[in-house]
């Protein structure tokens, strides 16, 4: 164990790593419920998608833990699954099999990019000010996820008006505080207090203890507030049919949907390569450009989400040091720690597509486990183990509400904001791109979009100040690719 994970070198212990891995799992376990729900809207079998989610998560997390020895976890990405379902399938009209084929192609392209060191050059080409901004931006992003998961925010109608161009009645939506009469909100506030207590007191194992304590408060509150005065679905854990998903034959049904299928819904396994998938994807010549642009959209997010996560969380937590970045710059092949992490990250997406799920990526919720003391790949192995056994204990895991893990994300996100102090705020050509990169991560709910806007404004600022030579070629190339992506799929 010591030889494989270098626990003493990383100043950690087996128990601390396992605790951190369990913490990471609970912080991201919602994907086991949400991913089947999202992809199920395309006609994909829900239980089969659940099993595909588990497989992709286990494979990706094991890979990054064993190959790179870092405490990160992977799973099908939120945002990417929504793009897969709501944009590619339901809006653009592709079959879910064709969408899986696009995801597989995206995974292969990203592996090639990683093997040819192009991805490394992209990472090294990001200006230092933007690297620090990405760290702070991910802090904003993580904290926003945490605040959103507590239920403290709700979006309410703002100013209403008649659109003169269309004649339609429009109403803007603005964020506001939720009602403090909601039982879920009360639990969330208590959860924040509990987490802050354990963090400020520096209690050993305090993160996992805060999850347990908040869950107990939650379970108690169900009985206290289970009256006619409680709002409908105040404690609805997930948006899918639990009775169906967790029936006695659900695991058997999941394997049947994965490998056998039915006349109405073909099996998920290898569906990306059948007549309804890869074999028909490029059959319509008029849609080839659209298909390529869609694959580009998948690829850009798959490439830049992990890069942003590694840069942002790695620097602020010490998982990746300045020396690790220097080693990556001078290394050949996959000898450095960062090279191995980038390669490991790419493995899970094509495997996930083969089994039947959207792009798999590094989860920013890994910072919950890092905050609990995780420093090595043993944390990742513990998380992978939890995903593996979740098929048998999922109803029990589902008892842990988002209100129990959300406060951890808020605290960790706050801690990551310290990287913003490294930015030269007196130089507006550095400060403006840093602002756009960090703020857009939270507002656009996307790490890659934050990086894109950081690149756009960085180029503009350097052009306007006559310092265009400071813009590396890779920044121009990536900015152009993002611009093409936005012009073809977001306008």
Contact 314, 45 (CB under 8 A): no
Helices (H) and strands (E) in the chain, counts: 22, 4
pLDDT confidence of residue 388: 94
Give the 3-state secondary structure of residue 74: strand
Residue 166: pLDDT band (50, 70, 90) is low
What is the C-alpha separation between 119 and 128, in angstroms, rounded?
17
Residue 21: pLDDT band (50, 70, 90) is very high
What is the C-alpha separation between 94 and 278, in angstroms, rounded?
11
- Give the pLDDT mean for 26-49: 89
CA angle 11, 12, 14 (to 5 degrees): 155
- Give the pLDDT mean for 144-170: 71
Please determine, for residue 246, whether its predicted confidence score (pLDDT) is greater than 60: no
pLDDT confidence of residue 318: 82
pLDDT confidence of residue 225: 59
Q: What residue spans define the domains of the chain?
A: 2-417
Q: Cα separations (Å) of 192 from 6, 459, 469? A: 34, 40, 47
Query: Is the model more confident about 15 or about 120?
Result: 15
Q: Tell me the per-residue pLDDT of 358-374, one tens digit each, with 9 for 90 and over.
A: 999 999 889 889 989 99
Q: Provide the percentage of residues in the chain whose pLDDT is more than 70.
A: 89
Q: Tell me the per-residue pLDDT of 306-327, one tens digit each, with 9 for 90 and over.
A: 888 888 888 777 898 888 888 8
Please determine, for residue 124, whether its predicted confidence score (pLDDT) is greater than 50: yes
Q: Tell me the per-residue pLDDT of 53-91, one tens digit each, with 9 for 90 and over.
A: 999 999 999 999 999 999 999 999 987 898 899 889 998
């Amino acid at each position: 164990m010591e030889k494989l994970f270098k626990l003493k070198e990383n100043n950690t212990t087996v128990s601390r790593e396992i605790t951190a891995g369990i913490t990471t799992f609970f912080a991201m376990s919602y994907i086991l419920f949400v991913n089947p729900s999202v992809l199920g809207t395309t006609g994909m079998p829900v239980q089969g998608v659940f099993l595909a989610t588990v497989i992709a998560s286990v494979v990706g997390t094991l890979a990054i833990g064993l190959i790179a020895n870092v405490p990160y976890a992977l799973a099908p990405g939120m945002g990417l699954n929504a793009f897969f379902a709501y944009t590619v399938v339901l809006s653009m009209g592709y079959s879910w099999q064709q969408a899986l084929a696009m995801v597989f192609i995206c995974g292969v392209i990203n592996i090639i990019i990683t093997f040819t060191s192009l991805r490394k050059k992209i990472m090294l080409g990001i200006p230092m000010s933007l690297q620090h901004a990405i760290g702070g931006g991910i802090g904003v992003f993580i904290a926003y996820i945490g605040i959103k998961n507590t239920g403290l925010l709700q979006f309410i109608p703002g100013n209403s008006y008649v659109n003169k161009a269309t004649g339609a009645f429009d109403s803007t939506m603005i964020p506001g505080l939720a009602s403090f009469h909601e039982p879920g909100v009360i639990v969330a506030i208590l959860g924040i207090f509990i987490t802050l207590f354990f963090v400020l007191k520096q209690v050993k194992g305090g993160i996992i203890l805060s999850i347990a304590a908040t869950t107990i408060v939650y379970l108690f509150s169900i009985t206290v507030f289970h009256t006619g005065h409680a709002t409908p679905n105040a404690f609805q854990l997930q948006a899918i049919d639990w009775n169906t998903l967790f029936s006695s034959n659900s695991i058997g049904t999941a394997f049947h949907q994965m490998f056998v299928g039915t006349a109405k819904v073909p099996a998920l396994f290898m569906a990306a390569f059948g007549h309804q998938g890869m074999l028909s994807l490029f059959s319509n010549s008029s849609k080839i450009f659209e298909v390529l642009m869609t694959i580009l959209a998948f690829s850009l997010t798959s490439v830049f989400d992990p890069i942003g996560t590694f840069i942002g969380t790695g620097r602020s937590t010490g998982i990746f040091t300045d020396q690790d970045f220097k080693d990556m710059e001078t290394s050949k092949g996959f000898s450095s720690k960062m090279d191995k992490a980038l390669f490991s990250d790419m493995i899970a997406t094509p495997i996930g597509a083969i089994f039947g799920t959207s792009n798999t990526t590094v989860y920013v919720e890994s910072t919950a486990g890092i905050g609990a003391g995780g420093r090595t790949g043993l944390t990742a192995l513990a998380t992978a183990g939890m995903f593996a056994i979740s098929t048998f204990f999922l109803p029990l895991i589902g008892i842990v509400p988002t209100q129990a893990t959300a406060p951890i994300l808020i605290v960790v996100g706050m801690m990551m904001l310290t990287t913003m102090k490294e930015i030269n705020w007196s130089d507006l050509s550095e400060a403006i791109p840093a602002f756009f990169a960090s703020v857009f991560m939270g507002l656009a709910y996307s790490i890659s979009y934050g990086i894109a806007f950081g690149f756009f404004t960085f180029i503009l600022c350097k052009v306007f100040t006559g310092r265009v030579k400071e813009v590396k070629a890779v920044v121009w190339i990536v900015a152009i690719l993002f611009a093409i992506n936005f012009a073809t799929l977001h306008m």
